[in-house]
A and B are shown apart, each in its own frame.
Chain A
Amino acid sequence: MHRSRKTLALAAAGTSAMMALTACAGGADPAEEVRQITWVINNVPSQWASTSGAGGSVYTVQMLSGVVPNTGTYLPNGEYEFNMDVLAEEPVLINGDLDEGPFQYSFTLHEDAVWNDGTPMTAEDLRVTVMMTASPSEGYCTTCDPRGSATEDMIDTMEVDGKTLTVTLKEGMADPEWTSLFDFASAGAGFYPSHLAEENGWDVEDPDQLGEFYTWLHDTRPEWSGGPFQIVDGDLTNQVVKEPNPEWWGAETQVDRIIHPFNTEEGTFVTAFANGEIDGANPAQYSEDVILGLQDLPGATVTVAEGSTWEHIDLNTENEWLADVELRRAIFTAIDRADIAERLYGTGYPDYELKNNHIFNSDSEYYTDYIGETAQGTGDTEAAIEILEEAGYELDGDTLTLDGEQVGPLRLRTTDTDIRSTSVQLVQSHLAAIGIEANIEMSDDLGGDLTEADYDIFQFGWSGSPYFAGSAHQFWHSESGSNFGSISNEDIDAAAEAANSAPTLDEAAEYSNEAVELVVQEAYVLPILADPNYFFASDRVAGIEDNLFSSFRATYNIGEWALAE
């Protein structure tokens, strides 16, 4: 009797505790008290500013959305929109005709534009941002390590006149993408408050002191803001919390708080979403299991669309066999891209589209289909063997030979992801059909292996961007550090250089397409397709949509987010 009374008491205490916890947990839901959205950033940003190499990830950019002001962005439909909250007028091209004089343009900030401490935004903010994002070799800043050079050493002068910055390029130089200098895709994903340098005692004209300001911006959680939200809490480990910027002069924000938890494990999205802990995310990686799990949940909107990273197969022209362009053409002809795409995305994203231009997507006004004009990527084994036989190769049983010597074996490399592993296995079988033995080797050091050209065939991905003028130069110019397989073609070099320094986007596109056509003829890089990305959001939020043209993704219009009525 004594024992059973004790047991009963224990059970009662346990039940009471559970009931109390249940009641308290229910009452503590802050989402019911404030208009709050919890939007996941699916990795941990490493710094508080996005201009540096280490800080310049999409995760930092998304964390700072609505805080760092910028001058424009591409919209989800692919159209470009200037940010007229920040700008007084669209940027002005003062002179684009190099025969008339130096290339010159100006940006004028909105009259009402202020930082959240009430200090007006001025052209000095723009100038100092350029100084911090320019190459260190330009001399503005000794210790700045920007993720890209904002100016590529082209700027001659920058004149500050109140809210207007006038930029003049060096003689004979032009920049077709000059309007992007302070937009979403710029090195800083916007511009920074220069007055804080002075407030903290740094002289921005001193390269060492500008470096200290730069470090401070990256090291210090920003209390400053020039957008609709400001960061009020958080760290670079768990999450950040944003609340409306009281000095914001644009349209009033519709939510009281936005929480960005950093979540590195996509496998948790389904349960966290079902549990009401998160309202959505725009993950960087494609995950079929997660997509299918989310699609089964009530109240979830899930979209899958072509992302910005495109997969491609590169050949190393320094390999003794692959130096022969005919062999390269045969290899690309034997590879069946449709087979690869169907196996990878046939279930989760059946609307995939094969990529037939390295630089432009099919919805771009500059798109021309160059791959489709050839047999490359078709998996046409007979055509591939024909190319080989015409070039003097012989298929001896299951082995391809040249002058009696076996071709290969070739080292086929990629990084160890499910998608790439499957893809290279298929490529291996495609090559076996034309008598080429390819041995798969996984790479755990993508950058190192590419830089050292430690491969014969490599599948990896490039991140695409609506900005394209420098792409051909980076990928294929004989002096580019990213021309890993060492293609060397004077015509490609000339086209890439011309694209990079064309005065207009139309001309830059023309030269870029010329470079693409030449690269296809060289059978150097075979694009497969753009990796799809997914996005999911709860039906309790409104105004949120994915933007695959911007590294901000869904946060590109964070000032317009709201709760559904």
Chain B
Amino acid sequence: MKEKLLALVSNNAADYLEIRVEESTVSSLRFRGPILEAVNTSLLYGGCIRALVNGGWGFITFNDVSNLEEKVAQAIHQAKLVSAAGADGKLALVPVVQDVVQIPFLEDPRQVSLADKVELFGGYNDIILSHGKQIVSSSINYFDKYSKIYFANSEGTYILQHKLDLAGNMSAIASDGSTTQMGRAGFGSSTDFGVARNLDDKVKVACGRAIDLLAAPSVRGGEYTVIVDPELSGIFAHEAFGHLSESDFVYENPQLQAVMKLGTKFGGEFLNIYDTGLEVGARGYLKYDDEGVATEKTDLIKDGVLVGRLHTRETAAKMGERPTGNARALDYTFAPICRMRNTCIGTGEASFDDMLAGVKLGVYAKGSYGGETNGEMFTFSADEGYMIRDGKLEELVRDVNLTGNVFSTLGNIDMVGKDFTPHESAGGCGKGGQVPLPTSEWAPHMRIQNVLIGGK
């Protein structure tokens, strides 16, 4: 494969050529209520070629990996058309790499029989369905994807990466006839099927939450002091700042470059945000990105000050900065774009009691249903909330959907907890139609002033 791919991309008619070939096997299973609804196996095999000619990009995807020379010619032809329209694409220099990356397995899901997987998740399903009469149903999803990704470019880089992504979600669904509520427990890993084991207690907590939410009132809309748990803190880092740090958003927008000037103060000196590809086991772990660039830990905010951003080779070249290994593609049907890996809020010094102290009226928001951003504003939705009155946690509330302005909210974070927590979920990130991309978000508790919560 190596010689074949390197020979293919050594075509002189392009300034730059790359090919990526992916061979993946996906196994999945799905329970809905008592029934194991689906047990699927998918084989994916295909590739893509990207060509840069005189500033213009051509990109082509295919399943059929024969006649690759013709496909190279077509990508070059398309690139020339784009170049004729005055394109100015370019790439930052990176080291030439030749490497084969293996998966540092703790437990390989391919060594676990289908029968054992069915038994494990069937066990969780039984816990949910036998939890009580208010639990009306369950939903369990599990998948593992094992991939071999071959990458070669015209600079001489050749990388074969073996990759694993696995994740699952167990949901308990409770109903009292008029309302339906949900409680969830999830897991994810890039090295270990073991994270799917021994989750009985988490599943029971999810059942309890679904039932408790039935009787909980909706939160009243308004501005609150909000304490977010590590899971929501992580989603905050991802939605509220991570996306704004993706340089494809910034690199051709001079107005935004002025706002996002390195050295600008965004928060208190206890605020640190970084994005890393180096945490083995995280779903956002990756040794090389999809341009063959080694990943790293990239500081974004250090001691409250903007110090870095996430780059592809093109955004780095155009901004005169260093590539950071953030060019990622969902699969062979997409070109790489600037994406996060594992986005983290660094450990602070506050305890949970410190955060509660002095809060007259607030909300403790826990767990995440997901979030969204347009760069300036963000929203995210919590699994559950607890009112805080005079420094004490009080009643459970539901429908807690938080929103804010990125720039003011970062400045409104007044405490970061000392309980940094690695959290992996079954969700994924969406951008440019490439969803769900495995990412991770690790963080401690945080306290934020003046957060707007929707509601009546």
Q: Do A and B bind each other?
A: no
